[in-house]
Amino acid sequence: MFYYLVALLIFAVDQATKWLIVKKMELGQSISIIDQVFYITSHRNRGAAFGILQDQRYFFIIITIIVVGAVIYYLQKHAHDTLLKTALALVLGGAVGNFIDRLLHGEVVDFLDVKIGSYDFPIFNVADSALVIGVGLIFIQSFMESKKKETENE
Ligand SMILES: CCC[C@@H]1OC(=O)[C@@H](C)C[C@H](C)CCCCC(=O)CCC[C@@H](CC)/C=C/C=C(\COC)CC[C@@H](O)[C@@H](O)C[C@H](O)CNC1=O
């Protein structure tokens, strides 16, 4: 139950920040936070990561429903490890955050604009961050699990 509250918190922060960007900034407007490194830029994406598959709204909605279903099933049935449950809560909160954008508007609000040297990383949002961190933690947890099994079998 606690992990659903974590997901709800991620979802609420994601939606609140997107709402502020839509209300307080013009599309395309950019505010420098750390010059040459970090900007808040009001952007919309009708695709997935890196803007792939533009305008595949219903495809993304279906994929997200599958992702959310799998995460809830796993949270209920198989996840016992705190790290894994936290990771799944991050993925759940992030997936639902972008899902609501796609369902209501057919596009996702992005605003975190990071420039790494000359490379301008795709503008993303809180939901994307939670998704990437959540998936990263799942990889770390499964790697740790396999290491533990290896030492047990020795
Ligand atoms: C993070 C998953 C993207 C997120 O997936 C979602 O919603 C899920 C729940 C539903 C998708 C339809 C299905 C997952 C597709 C898999 C995927 O995408 C592989 C990603 C690899 C990963 C390797 C590290 C890149 C990460 C990139 C970015 C995130 O950087 C922090 C840049 C984000 C910007 O392009 C921004 O415009 C994106 C926009 O906000 C819409 N977001 C989505 O589609």
Q: ipTM of this model?
A: 0.94
E strands, 81-143, where? 108-116, 119-120
Query: What pLDDT sits at residue 106?
Result: 94
Query: What pLDDT sits at residue 79?
Result: 83
Closest protein CA for atom 15 of ligand 1:
48
The verdict on whether 110 is a catalytic residue reads yes
Q: What mean pLDDT comes out for the span 25-49?
A: 97
Round to whole Å and give the CA distance between 29 and 86: 34
Query: What pLDDT sits at residue 153?
Result: 87
Confidence tier at 119 by pLDDT (50, 70, 90): very high
Q: How many CB atoms lie within 10 A of CB 97?
A: 26
91 touches ligand 1 (CB under 6 Å): no
Determine if the pTM surpasses 0.90.
yes
